[in-house]
Amino acid sequence: MSRFLAYTSPARGHLYPIVATLLELKDRGHDVHVRTLASEVPSLRAAGLHAEPIAAEIESVTLDDWKGSDPEEGLGLAYATFTARAEHEVPDVTRAIEDVDPSHLLIDVTTVGAAAVAEAGTIPWAQTIPLFQHFSFTPGVPRHLAMVPFEIAPPGLDVLNGPRRTVGLEPLTDADSMWRAPLHLYYTAPPFGPAGIELPSTFRVVGPGIWEPPSELPSFLAAGERPIVLVSASSELQSDAVLIETALEALAADDLEVAVSTAAHDPAQFTAPPNAHVERWLPHGPIVERAMCVVCHGGMGIIQKALAAGVPVCVVPFGRDQFEVAEFVVGAGAGTCVLPHELNPDSLRTAVREAMGMSAMAERVAEGFARAGGAPAAADSIEALVPTPARS
């Protein structure tokens, strides 16, 4: 048995994708420890993992990139968040390593302080990546600033080099040198994503992780027979409340159930028509199984959960990597996109109805995800880093 320590940012979108991998390792007899956002510790413990919260100082640094007036300013705000968190990640992950004495480390790609500590140490480690990364492209395929969190020099490299200096590592000088881990677990798979991409040899494409905490089925799901449309906002606060408001109006007269998960927004601020069910947190998995379409902001978690079930999506992107994710949805023929400045009840209603007819291509994406191997493939790759002798 080996002992694993997984370390994530305070974001469900960076924790949930790797939980199936952690549970697979646990089921293989390994001892698995997690450091993540405090609110998710109870559900991880209930699943049989050893979980503790990351330092409170890290969680107190909120991601406010949505306040940027344009993508570049938003990216700068995200950089500031990662830099501020990194100062606390270095001592926090160091303490966690001392406490757990792991044989392997799993480090989230946005926890740059923890990555620097891992690289400076001697413990075999892997980086977990639940969002798109770009390296090289075929001619004519666009390259977008927001898709490459740390590639733009000097600001992006400065984010990485700050904690590297703290732990005595040489600074990085270009984007190609940023992939330092012996293994990178990439939680997506073709045909979803950019064409012509060339991944470093350390990357293992494993498909999406779609775990979510178990919860009671909503009463409308158990009782209803009408088609369902799931509407979901980001769990990280951004300006997507208008998506919920517009969807409630656009779909109010349709003969279907509208399930709305408001996430970062207070559900009390929305007025629900008779066919809508509005709650802060709804279990996406069982609803997606019954859904004809998922309407969302373009976060990788909900998009890949829908497509993994063969359910088409309608994306209204607001920031971060969501515009690029929307492009890949449309490019795969697995859904539609409404840009924020074009969003109104008529445009959204039309886009949702169009998306409902795209299930065949969504199922093709689901087949590609399944071929990638999922949690067993990820666990195989992690175990292959080094032999896994028995631990006391």
**pLDDT tens-digit readout, 201-231:** 899 999 999 999 988 888 887 766 788 999 9
Beta bridge pairs of residue 4 = 32, 104
* Residue 298 backbone phi and psi in degrees, to 5: 100, 20
Least confident of 11-20, 262-271, 309-318, 327-336: 262-271
Under DSSP, is residue 315 helix (H, G, I), strand (E, B) or coil?
strand
Is there a domain that residue 73 lies in?
Answer: yes
Q: Which residue has the higher pLDDT, 234 or 147?
A: 234
Under DSSP, is residue 105 helix (H, G, I), strand (E, B) or coil?
strand
Confidence of residue 387 (pLDDT cuts 50, 70, 90): low
pLDDT for the residue numbered 223: 66
Is there a domain that residue 195 lies in?
Answer: yes
Q: Please state the rounded mean pLDDT for residues 30-41.
A: 97
Is there a domain that residue 213 lies in?
Answer: no
Confidence of residue 28 (pLDDT cuts 50, 70, 90): very high
pTM, rounded to two decimals: 0.88
pLDDT for the residue numbered 145: 32
Structural domain harbouring 248: 219-369
Look at the chain and count its residues: 392
Which residues, other chains included, contact 131 with Cβ-Cβ below 8 Å and sequence gap of 6+? 13, 109, 149, 300, 321
pLDDT for the residue numbered 175: 73
Residue 153 has pLDDT above 90, yes or no: no
Contact 196, 141 (CB under 8 A): yes
**172 and 266 part of one domain:** no
Mean confidence (pLDDT) of the chain: 89
Is there a domain that residue 389 lies in?
Answer: no
**112 and 201 part of one domain:** yes
**124 and 234 part of one domain:** no
Residue 310 has pLDDT above 80, yes or no: yes
Confidence of residue 270 (pLDDT cuts 50, 70, 90): very high
**51 and 65 part of one domain:** yes
Task: Report the CATH number that the domain containing residue 357 is assigned in CATH.
Answer: 3.40.50.2000
CA distance 255 to 371: 36
**180 and 241 part of one domain:** no
pLDDT for the residue numbered 149: 46
**180 and 234 part of one domain:** no
Is there a domain that residue 214 lies in?
Answer: no
**323 and 354 part of one domain:** yes
Least confident of 45-54, 189-198, 272-281, 346-355: 189-198
pLDDT for the residue numbered 167: 96
**254 and 198 part of one domain:** no
Contact 315, 325 (CB under 8 A): yes
pLDDT over 70 for what percent of the chain? 92
**154 and 274 part of one domain:** no
pLDDT for the residue numbered 137: 38
pLDDT for the residue numbered 139: 40
Is there a domain that residue 81 lies in?
Answer: yes
**175 and 239 part of one domain:** no
Contact 282, 228 (CB under 8 A): no
pLDDT for the residue numbered 224: 65
- In the chain, how many domains are there? 2
Confidence of residue 314 (pLDDT cuts 50, 70, 90): very high
**Rounded alpha-carbon distances, angstroms, from residue 199 to 107, 135, 144, 288, 368:** 19, 7, 17, 31, 17
Is there a domain that residue 141 lies in?
Answer: yes
Is there a domain that residue 390 lies in?
Answer: no
**376 and 336 part of one domain:** no
**170 and 123 part of one domain:** yes
Q: Please state the rounded mean pLDDT for residues 339-351.
A: 96
Least confident of 56-60, 108-112, 113-117, 156-160: 156-160
pLDDT over 90 for what percent of the chain? 68
Residue 147 has pLDDT above 70, yes or no: no
pLDDT for the residue numbered 152: 45
**CA 262 to chain CA mean position, Å:** 17
